[in-house]
Structure 1
Amino acid sequence: MKRFYLISLIIFLQISRVYGAGHPNPQEEPVKNLILQGIELTLNNRFEQAFRLYQDLIERYPHHPVGYFYCGATLQAQMLDREDYSDAGPFYSLMEKSIVLSDSLDAAGVNDPWVYFYSGSSHLYRGFLKMKLGEWFSAYKDASNGVSLLEKAIEQDSSLYDAWLGIGSYRYWKSARADFLLWLPFIPDERDEGIRMVYQAIEKGYFVEYVGKDQLVWMLLDYGRENEALALARENHLAFPGSRFFKWTLAAAAFRSREFDLSFRLYQELLDEIRNLPDSNHFNEIDCLVHLAEIEQIREDWLQAFRWSDEALRLNLDPEIRQRAKNKLKKALTIRNEAKLYIK
């Protein structure tokens, strides 16, 4: 009996040494403030600064997933901002590290719902990038695994509303895109439940207010609730006027709501910013030019519609970008051909 007690004590001390002192609570300082600072930097397009901040979290807590997850999330944000996925390898490595460390903590008996949150969120982020790269089946598998882990997090702590964001988004988009998931049996319509959960996450979560609003805008636009989406997009843009993420979202919401003057102004601002970025691959530039051409088409300003669409079609593109942008370029060609008919 004494020997069993001694072995148990040694195991406990080893776990405490590796995980106890280095097990941060995201709801408490200094971790909470570091996470929020990094999110603010990321939303303001200051990715390198955010990444360095989260690297400090890794140095402080090398056996915990928090720093690896947020480094990966920042890297993904930078890739999305540039529409350049050449850093997919380092991103996958960071998310895998977050998942492995979370699994190790869980296996060691660390009872912390945030461990499930980071593991689940890492799966979801990884799944999102795979979806962007066209790996649909693998993306769905990651997303499904991620949601299962987030559900474990709220089983332990139902007030961990940050986890509600991932679950709610998954439920909405799984229902909304059921036609793409042909290998699955009947999928119930959980769009309203998904929206409700995201609203709860925005209101009560620790770190997901603005990201949650941004995701919700796209869900509401998909659902046909344009006015509601536009109001949320305005809130985010007002809070972070320099954020390209929120400019893109507001420009799209304004376009869908037929607020064409606002949408046109935002796409022009984005175009100017993108052209000043180093090493642009022109993908986002095409997006702006085609939207500007489309707005002028609606206004029946055919000369300007021709100019914007022609500019998009004349860009010198790499074959990979031309392939990815083929639908946008096809729209530009359609607008340019129509505009030719009206220009005298």
Structure 2
Amino acid sequence: MNAAVGDDFDARIDRGLEILYQGQYQEAIDTFDVFISQHPKNPAGYFFKAGAYQLRSMSYETQVWDDTQALLLDSSLELSHKAVNRDRRDPWAFFIRGGTYAYRAAIKARAKDYFSALSNGLSAVSDLNKAAALDPQLYDAYLGIGSFHYFRTKAASILKWLPFIGDNREKGIAEIKTAMEKGRYSKVLAQNGLAWIYLDYEKYPLALEQAQQLEKSFPQNHIFFWIAPEVYRRTKQWDKGSAGYARLLKLLDQSQPMNNFNRVFVGSRLAKCYYQEKKYREALEASQKALGLALDERSAQRLKYERGRAFEVLKQAQKKLKISQ
């Protein structure tokens, strides 16, 4: 007799997630591989490994692992679908299948394939609602449910072909907070997602509160250090913004010395903050460094705006320094 999906978990899932959030991506992937080798019919291993590649791709701003992640999501979907058909009372089978659809929705949204994103999102929230109904204590499900409610409202204001069904942003935030406070596997992702949502919602003190907690918990993982300086930049707290971007740039130099995409982006923002502080020498140096980093054609196109801003800061800083001499 086949065990329920959740009955077949072991401590490697927890361990893999723990080291994943520390930024040890390959070690986390290796840990999930061990789980897969011992539980090849359990969709959870493929699901969490796909999540590790998702976070790794976000960290490096790259598409190099997209095909690998797609194959893992295919395996997760196939096995979770079988698990659902085998036992329609298994909440974790619905959770894994719903989570897999949620990853696919996010991928489609980034590719601006909004029809596919919506279709996958609807499938995700349907399965996650079933998981939560079957097990009211499966709080991890509320991360996906809440994210859908928030971003479905946001999408309706941008994509005019979507019917408006009311503002569910606060409902979505409350659901994500439930996952953050009570979930087992989704606490960190829920907190990070909540911080970004607060930033998007322009609730800057709340975004900063969550971001600072994440920085304290994971001091070596740069992926949690983007929000605070962005809050300071948007609220024109230039000194705090420059300190935050300088710290982020240092982490990038240490962990991703060959990843120029992130370093150009952060360097441009750092230069702008320095300029607004009237630190023209530092602004000049930061903009020169950002503009001097080599980029491939795709990255250069994506960073066209940021590089333009860095060039403008460079020219303005040169003028200010010339006047002061």
TM-score, normalization by structure 2: 0.91
Task: Say if 1:221 and 1:256, in contact at 8 Å, map to a contact too.
Answer: no
Task: Give 5+ residue unaligned stretches, structure 2.
Answer: none
- What amino acid does structure 1 have at the position aligned with 2:197? M
Tell me the residue number matched to 2:247: 269
Aligned mate of 2:304, from 326, 340, 344: 326
Aligned mate of 1:295, from 273, 287, 303: 273
1:236 aligns with 2:214: yes
CA distance in 2, matches of 1:180, 1:310: 36
The C-alpha deviation readout for 1:49-68, integer Å capped at 9, x for no partner, is 11111111112211111100
Task: Give 5+ residue unaligned stretches, structure 1.
Answer: 1-15
1:188 aligns with 2:166: yes
CA distance in 2, matches of 1:175, 1:71: 30
- What amino acid does structure 1 have at the position aligned with 2:33? Q
Tell me the residue number matched to 1:314: 292
Matches within 5 A, 1:1-344: 16=1, 19-20=2-3, 23-25=5-7, 31=10, 33-277=11-255, 280-344=258-322
Task: Say if 2:6 and 2:92, in contact at 8 Å, map to a contact too.
Answer: no
Q: Relative to structure 1, is the Cα distance of residues 64 and 244 closer, same or farther in structure 2, using a 3 angstrom cutoff?
A: same
Identity in percent: 29
Task: Say if 1:162 and 1:205, in contact at 8 Å, map to a contact too.
Answer: yes
Task: Say if 2:146 and 2:174, in contact at 8 Å, map to a contact too.
Answer: yes
CA-atom RMSD in angstroms: 2.1
Q: Relative to structure 1, is the Cα distance of residues 52 and 226 closer, same or farther in structure 2, using a 3 angstrom cutoff?
A: same
Distance apart, 1:158 and its partner CA:
2.5
In the alignment of these two chains, the number of paired residues is: 322
Tell me the residue number matched to 1:6: none
CA distance in 2, matches of 1:98, 1:88: 15
The C-alpha deviation readout for 1:317-337, integer Å capped at 9, x for no partner, is 111111121222222233233
- What amino acid does structure 1 have at the position aligned with 2:14? L
CA distance in 2, matches of 1:142, 1:329: 35
Aligned partner of residue 177 in structure 1, secondary structure: helix
CA distance in 2, matches of 1:331, 1:145: 41
Distance apart, 1:254 and its partner CA:
4.0
Distance apart, 1:242 and its partner CA:
1.4
Task: Say if 2:5 and 2:90, in contact at 8 Å, map to a contact too.
Answer: no
Task: Say if 1:271 and 1:289, in contact at 8 Å, map to a contact too.
Answer: yes
Q: Relative to structure 1, is the Cα distance of residues 106 and 182 closer, same or farther in structure 2, using a 3 angstrom cutoff?
A: same
TM-score, normalization by structure 1: 0.86
Aligned partner of residue 161 in structure 1, secondary structure: coil
Distance apart, 1:117 and its partner CA:
0.9
CA distance in 1, matches of 2:253, 2:213: 26
119-128 vs 66-75, which moves further: 119-128
